[in-house]
């Protein structure tokens, strides 16, 4: 049986009703999605702005905190504290977003996107650690300002104030080291995966700053442990102090013009009994000391038949090596000294300390009162210590004036007004960074601190390419006062991954022009006719090949080759007549580890005692410039040249 079902007619208004309902549903969903997207957009824009603001505040605070120490300014520290507080608030806000955001939690497991989310979280963690570190550093800076500003005239010497500051901030030093270590661990966790540009830029900035931050934190903690003992606060110390005349360069920084043992107690030195190194040979002869064979070039061009001696003991550019050689020579004639370390200083130290203390007036035997300034000290000391200057009492040492002036300057440095402490610390730090001060301690912990600070004068280890240019004056003149080489360094990374180098230097001898307003007799005694003889050496990495030399475009002679523990070298003699200019070109090839066709690194180590030669730097791969080049250390002069005023590290990155 068939059942018929009749259809009830629809009301006209109900026609198409299902479609309308669906449309309204979709409109509601679309509106909701739009609202969600708007809220999410606001959410992520807020997150981005918080992070950008935190970054800006951190960078500004970092600039303010670069002067933390005796040179800090209370207003700058207060401003840094406020910026750090703002950064902390922004970072806390960003942390809240990350913890509460479900979309970010979902995104963190999405391929590729998850890496970016994780990296952003890691960067926020690092930023939080850096804020904490900055806040502790600000506290330490305020402690330094308090020590400085509360010092009364005639109060404790500068060295004692420094040790007191280290003691007062020892807890902060430990916290800074721990926070720096935490930041380093967080950076390892961040990894090196490809990141979106804003994240990559943040990571690159951290990579630029974090190594020096960690090193500085470690050194600060070490200084708390070892510096008081080094300065004689934990018992008396004795140091051999060597005065170098870098107007006559030798590989270790300058002629060893004088030396003496100095006692140090509670941060204050005793008498500096410098003796003239020219007296070593006659004293050794009187004691029956046998002939000591000099290094080949030194014997060939300077000493001839004379024994190797204290005056030229620093033929090795590695300070720990030559300092102990100098001590050995010193003890041959003076007997065992039982010193705790060896400190070498050159003429630049004298000039720079006089800029801090101001002119010093003292009685000079045979001349009466004389005022030494940063401008006249070097030449006047040369004049006063020449053998034929003025007759003095029998037994007087013509080089004793160096020690007398040094004692006067050091005593004044110890009692500087507190407003000048920052200048003093900054100048001494710069002199050590530039290798005008070199130090060796026989205490392993102290030597580790000097090594980490880069003040130990050693030939440096290197993980990439390496260059140390070294010069020695071997015709016994003071022409290094006026001859300063400059030129260019061209580096090509070849298809095979090895590297060719061309170092071109111009040596100009401006004797006549320089002598115009000088005493003719003094010029004659210092310059001995004006012929310059420089024994020049290029130190490169172990395994260097293809060495060659040209002088004025003609083949030169490689007179010697040799090696140190971390480097090989080749050398030649360059004579330069008065008022002449010579061009010398060195070429060699190296094979650095890693892949220099992608990232090429070069460490250029400065020679002690020099002002630092300026070079036009060209780095290429197959004749093409790198995508980017980063230069750390040294200076850039107005001509755009790299000046090796301190050690220079170069990183060139090539595009694929």
| Residue 387: predicted pLDDT | 60
Q: How far apart are CA 597 and CA 594, in angstroms?
A: 9
Residue 38 — very low, low, confident or very high, per pLDDT cuts 50/70/90?
very low
| Residue 112: predicted pLDDT | 62
Q: How far apart are CA 265 and CA 229, in angstroms?
A: 10
How far apart, in Å, do the first and last CA atoms of the chain sit?
84
Compute how many other C-beta atoms are within 10 angstroms of the C-beta atom of residue 533.
17
Architecture per CATH, domain 465-653, reads as Sandwich (2.60)
pLDDT tens column, 207-244 = 888 887 788 788 778 788 888 999 999 999 999 999 99
| Residue 146: predicted pLDDT | 80
3-state secondary structure of 625: coil
| Residue 53: predicted pLDDT | 59
Give the right CATH number for 237-453 from 1.20.1440, 1.10.10, 1.10.357, 3.40.630.
Answer: 3.40.630
Query: Torsions phi, psi of 300, nearest 5?
Result: -65, -40
Whether 193 contacts 119, CB under 8 Å = yes
β-partners of residue 631 are 650
pLDDT tens column, 430-449 = 999 999 999 999 999 999 99
Kindly tell me if the per-residue pLDDT of 609 is higher than 70.
yes
Query: Cα–chain-centroid distance for residue 360?
Result: 30
Kindly tell me if the per-residue pLDDT of 36 is higher than 60.
no
Q: Which residues of 285-310 are buried (b: 16+ CB within 10 A; e: fewer)?
A: eeeebeeeebbebbeebbbeeebbbb
Q: How far apart are CA 387 and CA 312, in angstroms?
A: 18
Residue the block writes with tokens 């090193």: 215
Residue 102 — very low, low, confident or very high, per pLDDT cuts 50/70/90?
low
Parse the chain into domains and list their residue ranges: 31-230, 237-453, 465-653
Kindly tell me if the per-residue pLDDT of 93 is higher than 60.
yes
Q: Which of 78, 62, 213, 212 is nearest to 139 (CA)?
A: 78
Kindly tell me if the per-residue pLDDT of 29 is higher than 80.
no
- Environment class of residue 198 by beta-carbon count within 10 Å: exposed (0-12), middle (13-18) or buried (19+)? middle
pLDDT tens column, 261-289 = 999 999 888 888 888 999 999 999 999 99
Kindly tell me if the per-residue pLDDT of 188 is higher than 50.
yes
Compute how many other C-beta atoms are within 10 angstroms of the C-beta atom of residue 72.
24
β-partners of residue 568 are 540, 563
Vertex 452: Cα angle to 147 and 225 (nearest 5): 45
Q: Which two tokens stand for residue 112?
A: 């590729």
| Residue 568: predicted pLDDT | 97
Vertex 481: Cα angle to 478 and 482 (nearest 5): 115
Residue 2 — very low, low, confident or very high, per pLDDT cuts 50/70/90?
very low
β-partners of residue 643 are 614, 635
Residue 117 — very low, low, confident or very high, per pLDDT cuts 50/70/90?
confident
Kindly tell me if the per-residue pLDDT of 187 is higher than 60.
yes
Whether 654 contacts 599, CB under 8 Å = yes
Average of per-residue pLDDT values in the chain: 85
pLDDT tens column, 516-560 = 999 999 999 999 999 999 999 999 999 999 999 999 999 999 999
| Residue 476: predicted pLDDT | 86
Q: How far apart are CA 45 and CA 232, in angstroms?
A: 58
Q: Which residues of 319-352 are buried (b: 16+ CB within 10 A; e: fewer)?
A: bbbbbbbbbebbebbbeeeebbbbbbbbbbbbbb
Q: How far apart are CA 275 and CA 398, in angstroms?
A: 8
């Amino acid at each position: 049986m068939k059942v018929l079902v009749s259809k009830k007619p629809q009301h006209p208004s109900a026609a198409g009703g299902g479609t309308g309902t669906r449309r309204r549903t979709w409109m509601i969903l679309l509106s909701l999605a739009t609202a969600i997207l708007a809220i999410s957009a606001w959410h992520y824009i807020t997150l981005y702005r918080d992070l950008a603001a935190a970054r800006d505040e951190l960078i500004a605070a970092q600039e303010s905190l670069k002067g933390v120490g005796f040179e800090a300014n209370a207003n700058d520290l207060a401003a840094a504290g406020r910026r750090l507080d703002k950064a902390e608030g922004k970072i806390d806000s960003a942390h809240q977003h990350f913890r509460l955001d479900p979309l970010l939690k979902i995104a963190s497991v999405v391929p590729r996107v998850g890496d970016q989310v994780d990296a952003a979280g890691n960067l926020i963690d690092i930023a939080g650690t850096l804020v904490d570190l900055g806040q502790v550093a600000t506290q330490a800076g305020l402690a330094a300002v308090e020590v400085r500003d509360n010092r009364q005239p005639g109060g404790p010497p500068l060295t004692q104030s420094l040790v007191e500051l280290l003691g007062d901030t020892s807890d902060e030093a430990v916290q800074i080291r721990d926070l720096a270590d935490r930041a380093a661990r967080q950076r390892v966790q961040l990894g090196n995966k490809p990141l979106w540009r804003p994240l990559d830029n943040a990571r690159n900035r951290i990579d630029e700053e974090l190594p020096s931050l960690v090193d500085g934190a470690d050194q600060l903690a070490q200084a708390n442990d070892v510096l008081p003992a080094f300065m004689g606060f934990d018992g008396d110390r004795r140091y051999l102090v060597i005065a170098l005349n870098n107007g006559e360069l030798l590989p270790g920084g300058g002629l060893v013009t004088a030396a003496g043992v100095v006692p140090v107690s509670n941060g204050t030195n005793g008498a500096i009994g410098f003796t003239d190194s020219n007296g070593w040979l006659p004293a050794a002869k009187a004691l029956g000391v046998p002939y000591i064979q000099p290094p080949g070039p030194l014997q060939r061009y300077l000493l001839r038949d004379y024994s190797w001696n204290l005056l030229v003991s620093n033929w090795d550019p590695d300070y720990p090596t030559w300092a102990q050689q100098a001590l050995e020579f010193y003890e041959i004639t003076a007997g065992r000294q039982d010193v705790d370390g060896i400190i070498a200083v050159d003429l630049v130290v004298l000039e720079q300390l006089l800029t801090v203390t101001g002119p010093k007036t003292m009685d000079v035997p045979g001349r009466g009162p004389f005022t030494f300034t940063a401008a006249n000290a070097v030449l006047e000391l040369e004049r006063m210590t020449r053998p034929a200057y003025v007759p003095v009492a029998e037994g007087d040492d013509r080089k004793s004036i160096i020690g007398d002036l040094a004692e006067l300057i050091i005593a004044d440095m110890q009692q500087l007004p507190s407003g000048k402490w920052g200048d003093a610390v900054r100048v001494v730090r710069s002199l050590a960074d530039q290798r005008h001060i070199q130090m060796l301690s026989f205490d392993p912990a102290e030597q580790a601190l000097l090594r980490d600070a880069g003040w130990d004068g050693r030939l440096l280890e290197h993980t990439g390419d390496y260059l140390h240019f070294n010069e020695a004056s071997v015709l016994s003149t003071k022409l290094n006062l006026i001859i300063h080489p400059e030129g260019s360094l061209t580096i090509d990374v070849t298809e095979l991954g090895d590297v060719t180098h061309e170092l071109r230097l111009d040596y100009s001898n401006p004797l006549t022009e320089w002598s115009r307003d000088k005493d003719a007799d003094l010029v004659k005694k210092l310059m001995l006719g004006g012929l310059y003889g420089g024994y020049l050496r290029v130190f490169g990495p172990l395994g260097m090949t293809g060495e060659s030399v040209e002088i004025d475009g003609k083949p030169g002679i490689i007179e010697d080759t040799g090696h140190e523990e971390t480097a090989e070298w080749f050398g030649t003699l360059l004579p330069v007549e008065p008022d002449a200019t010579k061009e010398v070109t060195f070429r060699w090839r190296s094979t650095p580890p890693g892949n220099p066709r992608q990232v090429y690194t070069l460490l250029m180590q400065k020679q002690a005692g020099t002002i630092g030669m300026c070079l036009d730097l060209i780095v290429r791969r197959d004749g093409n410039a790198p995508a980017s080049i980063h230069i750390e250390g040294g200076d850039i002069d107005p001509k755009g040249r790299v000046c090796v005023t301190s050690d220079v590290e170069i990183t060139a990155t090539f595009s694929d």
